[in-house]
Amino acid sequence: MGSIGLITIVAGGFMFFAARDALVDRHAEALEDQARLVAAVIDLDIQRDVAANAFDLTIVRLSTENDVRITVIGRDGTVIADSTGDVALTGNLAGRPEVNEARRDGFGSAEQPDETGETRLFFAAVEIASVPGAVVRVASPATELDAAIGRLRRNMAITMGTAVLVAGLVVYALAGRNLVPPQKLRNFVGAVDAGRLDSNVEIGGGHVLDEVDSVPSKTAGVPSSPTSGVERDLGRFEAVLQRLTDGVVLTDRNGEIMQLNEAAERMLGAPMAAAVGRPFVQIARDHELAQLLRRALAGEEPAPLTIEYGLNRRAIRATAQLTRGPRERLGLMVLHDETELRRLETVRREFVANVSHELRTPLASIKALVETLEAGAIDDQAIAADFLGRIVGEVDRLALLVDELLDLARLESGRVALRLEAVSPAEVLTRGGERLRPQIERGGLELRFALPADLPLVRVDPGRIEQVVINLVHNAIKFTPPGGAITIAALTKNGVVEGSVSDTGAGISPEELPRLFERFHKADRARRSEGTGLGLAIVKHIIGAHGGAVSVESELDHGSTFRFDMPLITAVDG
């Protein structure tokens, strides 16, 4: 039993280090994303040739919004600007590993203690595209990361009770086969001979009963304990086992299932009653999992295996180990569902690819326009003015994209502090709609309001709700042909005020609706060059930050209606 606990503790240690590494990787990836976004903003300011004081203000603003320290480093390693203002005290950074790596590969990272030695600092550096050799570096303390790792360590220490759990399961399995330690029986015999008739031992019969042949007849009638200590412990172990999110399967030496928890039942699609006593290969219905268990039972130490399991192709990471009891070998398989982790990784890759595409398109256009001007078109005033106007438009598009990316990043991370006020929903919705009235009228559209006068007050951030209305109305303008109408409405429903923006436009196909609020998703394929594809994602996160939900109803060629919740002001709010 001790060996089982030891194996499980080792496995738990492995899980802790794997989880810790995942936290560190996630922190590093988030810092890299911040560094790339900050570098893109600074690159735009450099290309615009903004004044030095405005440049410094941009760095301070970005540092405050992203909660990082930002340093701009020149080609020779000197510090050009720093969000803390300590340019002279920073020194030359040409020898820093993350700076050299960024100059060589475009991106670099490093880690070191701060000046006090008490806190780790993570660095991410990105080369500035328009100034080769110059680097933007962001630094973030690992305070929150270390706290998360501390919580993980505490949780894993508690979870190490799994070692006792597995040992208890083995005891349970062995007890069911009547394997009672002889020494325990000898102790019982000695106690009864000494006259302690209240002594008790669980004996199921079997190969060790010859140890008690000499028990005096006066033991007859000794009451047995209704629940032994082992049974109580096993009940606790069973409860812990069923609460584990990982699937756990225990088999005998022949691979027949003896025990599995609820998580394993869900993953394998088989209830315990139907699985116990049957070969694992029949329940798993996967030759790779069965082969992994066979190798473990044969005494090998197979490496963890990740497979796509079942009809829905869920990503399952499986580990199998051999545990040895006094008289038999048992197989232990742990199943970890990594489907959600894989999905998040896919989302991250798609996000990086989409950002790269959205940045590359306007930059390529700017480059082509500049090259044409350099080739002689600048001498033609009409063409030069037209091209310069287009360049300004593309730069504005880049600035909008970067601003929306930063805004969305703050919303998704929960770092946006809402300025909640008790306000009239009609006033907030009206202000948001009226800000776009000139664009609505230029598009030959009609703006309508359906806002009852008796709407109750809501507790919201007025600026953010106006942003929601503007994004939804702007979306409606793009997809509503001249002669159509856009309606902003509200009503009280289910304890909230439900706002809505409706249009009489082209509508959205049913297959597009599930992905409509994803970043960079654009439903109208004919207009993929318009907008950033971030507006609806921002709407979703703003409403979510208020504790509400957003939904959409649409019919092709008949228009769309977007609805969102605003919480009512309560007596507690005052």
Question: What pLDDT shows up at residue 222?
Answer: 44
SS3 (DSSP) at 418: coil
- Mark out the alpha helices in 182-333 (DSSP H runs): 182-193, 229-243, 262-268, 272-275, 280-284, 287-297
Question: What pLDDT shows up at residue 425?
Answer: 94
Residue 33 pLDDT class (50, 70, 90 cuts)? confident
Give dist(CA 37, CA 25) in Å, integer: 18
SS3 (DSSP) at 570: coil
Residue 291 has pLDDT above 80, yes or no: yes
**DSSP letters of 304-330?**
PEEEEETTTTEEEEEEEEEEE-SS-EE
| Strand 559-567 relative to strand 421-423, pairing | unpaired
Domains and CATH numbers, the chain: 2-149 (3.30.450.20), 160-200+231-337 (3.30.450.20), 341-392 (1.10.287.130), 421-567 (3.30.565.10)
Question: What pLDDT shows up at residue 165?
Answer: 63
Query: Where are the strands (E) in 385-495, listed by range?
Result: 421-423, 446-450, 458-460, 485-493
pLDDT in tens, 246-259: 888 989 988 999 88
DSSP secondary structure code for residue 380 in this structure: S
Mean pLDDT value across residues 321-350: 80
Whole-model pTM: value is 0.45
CA distances (Å), origin 203, targets 177, 185, 212, 216, 258 = 11, 8, 10, 16, 21
Q: How would you class 323 by CB atoms within 10 Å of its CB: exposed for 0-12, middle for 13-18, buried for 19 or more?
A: buried
- Do 325 and 332 form a contact (C-beta atoms < 8 A)? no
Residue 529 has pLDDT above 60, yes or no: no
For the chain, the distance separating the N- and C-terminal CA atoms, rounded to the nearest angstrom, is: 61
Mean pLDDT value across residues 129-148: 83
Record the tokens describing residue 562, joined without a space: 């977007």
pLDDT in tens, 433-473: 999 998 899 889 999 999 998 999 999 999 999 999 999 99
Residues 6+ apart with CB under 8 A from 16: 152, 153, 156
Question: What pLDDT shows up at residue 224?
Answer: 46
pLDDT in tens, 70-86: 999 988 888 888 888 77
Record the tokens describing residue 162, joined without a space: 């799994």
CA distances (Å), origin 452, targets 138, 368, 566 = 49, 52, 15
Give dist(CA 513, CA 505) in Å, integer: 15
